[in-house]
Chain A
């Protein structure tokens, strides 16, 4: 996670961003849609990695905060007459609020107990959404959500997702490399020692959870823009594990690795899904091979091979 600021990286990032600006002009609509979906999913995975990779916390039910962001926008648009844009502003706040409440209960515990308690709380939220037909649409969800005209077309949704994702990534990158980010890493590596140097471990973990929840909420709101619907599966626990797989796949000791992992999973689901209905089996096999042979992830692997600085930390430790 520790990465030196470099002009090379900044230039590369800008170049990619400019290239992405031209995607809707040259690619067919379906692929533009896929790109937008990758941005949203990638943002979700990077946000999970803020707590999972950076903070070493067993955030087992991250999808809840994603789903809450999505439902907030959906309910804002379908149930109120307020400006839909307010929904997009509200989504991260509502997700942050849920993160705070769930976090307050969970951070008393650590590791597997933390994760399991989070799954129970998340499942509770899921169960309520799944059954509250009059409000959330129950297991059917809400469909045909009309987002503002500006972002309702495929191209509009694309540019909106691109802009929001890029902005969020910049903010998250700064957080990762802030004093907070460093302290959070210290807590991951040695909570006992962190506490002895005056760090309030529980509070830093809670803050990390809320930050991750905020960006998961933003990502959920992007999902509504791209898909125009919400459903309870957005906060089912299997999705949470899928996001963890994205982080693992890309490499959770890297900043952008989870983004790559998300891209791989989205593409795998889309294109393998065309040829076979058994794409989850392929995902399962990929995951198995990954755990057995490449636990540092794809990007982690390449960084290990080619990069000279940056990830030295992890490499020397292994």
Chain B
């Protein structure tokens, strides 16, 4: 067993950066999920599907514009927007009739959407693995303290805090955010003062799903785009949200950070069981803080 034999300072540093870029993706996806859970109380399993669809649309749009700098950025912007539109249709068409159902039913309903979306993706894009080529500006490596580090990952590390700030601004400084937070605590009260709660809910749902699409678009260049990536991400996102505290955006960030770092550093410690470490950490956290690390909106 090569247990912990290859931990050097440089490797540790490098894996931390890898973990941080992974954190960005996890945070973007989990914060969307958390938003929807916190305000709408929907455990949205279909969030993973939207992430996958985001990645596939990223692939197609990028291909359509022939790759390159322009195609890449158009795709990064277009695919979450497309995902948001899909989610708007789903929310207005289906969910808005189901808000009063119990959580188990909502969970199963979103799972049924996952099943349908999974096969739709298979129909449209087939079962082959897809890759997104990075524009040349993001290819290659930076050298940080003498260690090579992929440029694109650095971009991700920068995007993470930007998204976090934008979300903070949205929920704390804008009118819709304030109403949404109030609705999360007491939706009847908000409805009673004459605000159209249904529309607020739709907006929150769409924003949450936009984030799923954005996560999918950003992750696309770093891994194979394939069937099944929806199932993998959603369980991670749920665990992050639970660990951080349901509905708490900063909790999602903290959870993503813990999850991303244990994953990437676990690879150094014991490569074979690297995927086990984040789950162990989640279990430990929930043993001591069953309702998550930060205050939940529930």
Contacts and interface: CB of A to CB of B under 8 A. Distances in A.
Contact of A127 (B112, B238, B242, B275): B275
B282 A120 contact: yes
A151 B101 CA distance: 45
Contacts of B108: 241, 244-245, 248, 287, 291
Contact of B109 (A58, A280, A288): A288
A3 interface: no
Given A120-B239, A121-B283, A112 B115 contact: no
Interface residues of B, number: 40
A156 interface: no
A288 B275 contact: no
A291 B120 contact: no
Interface in B103-125: 103-105, 107-109, 111-116, 118-120, 122-123
Given A109-B290, A124-B276, A280 B238 contact: no
B283 A120 contact: yes
B287 interface: yes
Interface string A41-81: 00000000000000000101000000000000000000000
A131 interface: yes
Interface in B234-251: 235, 238-239, 242
Contacts of B109: 287-288, 291
A123 B277 CA distance: 11
Contacts of B276: 124, 127-128, 131
Given A284-B113, A287-B111, A237 B235 contact: yes
Which of B103, B113, B290 has most chain A Cβ within 10 Å? B290
Interface residues of A, number: 40
Given A111-B103, A113-B242, A120-B279, A280 B272 contact: no
Given A112-B43, A287-B112, A278 B283 contact: no
A284 B114 CA distance: 8
A113 B291 contact: yes
A260 B272 CA distance: 41
B4 interface: no
A293 B120 CA distance: 23
Interface in A16-43: none
Given A241-B108, A248-B108, A285-B116, A128 B273 contact: yes
A283 B116 CA distance: 8
Contacts of A295: 105
Interface string A142-178: 0000000000000000000000000000000000000
Given A131-B275, A238-B231, A278-B122, A117 B286 contact: yes
B70 interface: no
B11 interface: no
Given A245-B111, A284-B113, 16 more contacts: A105-B283, A109-B291, A116-B238, A117-B286, A120-B239, A123-B235, A127-B275, A127-B276, A128-B273, A131-B272, A132-B272, A241-B111, A278-B123, A280-B116, A288-B112, A291-B101
8 contacts: A108-B290, A109-B291, A112-B43, A119-B235, A132-B273, A280-B115, A285-B112, A291-B108
Pairs A-B, 7 closest by C-beta atoms: A284-B115, A281-B119, A287-B112, A284-B116, A124-B279, A284-B112, A278-B119
